[in-house]
Amino acid sequence: ILPLVSVNQILLLLLVLTVCAILYNKVHQVPLALRNETVDLESPEEMEEEIPVVICAAAGRMGAAVAAISSIYSNTEANVLFYIVGLKTTIPHIRKWIENSKLKEIKFKVVEFNPMVLKGKIRQDASRPELLQPLNFVRFYLPLLVQKHEKVIYLDDDVIVQGDIQELYNTKLAPGHAAAFSDDCDLPSTHEMIRSVGMQNTYMGFLDYRKQAIRDLGISPSTCSFNPGVIVANMTEWKHQRITKQLEKWMQRNVEENLYSSTLGGGVATSPMLIVFHGKYSSINPMWHIRHLGWSPDARYSEQFLQEAKLLHWNGRYKPWDYPSVHTDLWENWFIPDPSGKFKLTRPDS
């Protein structure tokens, strides 16, 4: 048996060692994130994926962007991050509108678009000057505006989303494709509308086939066109293929040679995309882009068809915040009045 003094000495030594160990850990404490411990935090795999949605807020039509954002936010549980793109002069207005309405709960970033990037790349055309607005070309510069995401949704402001935006985000892009669009020939139910109001749905309606540069592309004029008002884009492929540079090249060629103009079907923003993406894009589910609602003040779709649609697009001259226009009730469901009173709806009784 050890003498009592020895036992006491051993216990004292153990106590001293324990105190030293505690003090050492406090002084040399390893940050929690570097320790191999189980912590009560979500792992990256478990965290909900962020869905970036790019929408422009243009002067005179900010109510459109607000209604589009409202419809998306109200119809999804997904983790949506809105990139709201504007010019320097319009940004304070849209920020105030969001922060002083029920949209103050959304996650958003306001991004300023510098129109100087377009200098020398747009051919002036007096027939439809609204198509030359700088924000019409934001979709050409997606990687410059949205830098941390692999996949991005771009939407024109004149849309309403009735489905869950997660579905659109889940659109599969084929290997090597930088974007997915909606074919203009994809939905039989829209063909009657196209015939009735004389819309274009082939390359002939967008490019001037009298020009040698267009004929040299080797694209048949009867090739079905697509609409770039709804885009699901892969940023890695977009940058790898230098899509923005390609689009700028055709913009500059149009300035010099007048290869397409706003008197043709899609103005000056659709045509370069038709050239650059010909044969190299994936398809969006047709119900995720029901369009042409703004093409005529009279031609209408059936109410049942519109109820089934996931996304409605008032492309054309007749916008749902103006008069005349069709199916305005579906758009107004999502409109939030401007707290500042600057933006007002145009209605027959106003």
Q: Which two tokens stand for residue 140?
A: 């050409």
Pairing state between β 179-183 and 107-112: unpaired
What is the C-alpha separation between 282 and 342, in angstroms, rounded?
40
Pairing state between β 282-283 and 159-161: unpaired
What is the C-alpha separation between 165 and 162, in angstroms, rounded?
9
Q: What is the pTM of this model?
A: 0.84
Is 287:308 a contact under the CB 8 Å cutoff? yes
Question: Which domains occur in the chain, in start order?
Answer: 51-190+226-240+281-333 (3.90.550.10)
pLDDT confidence tier of residue 113, bands split at 50, 70 and 90? very high
* pLDDT for residue 57 is more than 70: yes
Nearest to 293 by CA among 303, 285, 281: 303
Give the DSSP per-residue string, 192-225. Answer: HHHHHHT---BGGGTS-TTSHHHHTTT--TTSB-
Give the model confidence (pLDDT) of 212-261 as tens digits: 999 999 999 999 999 999 999 999 999 999 999 999 999 999 999 999 86
Residue with tokens 């979500």: 42
Nearest to 154 by CA among 81, 232, 208, 89: 232
Is 141:243 a contact under the CB 8 Å cutoff? no
Identify the pLDDT of residue 45. Answer: 44
Q: Which two tokens stand for residue 112?
A: 């300023």
Identify the pLDDT of residue 34. Answer: 31
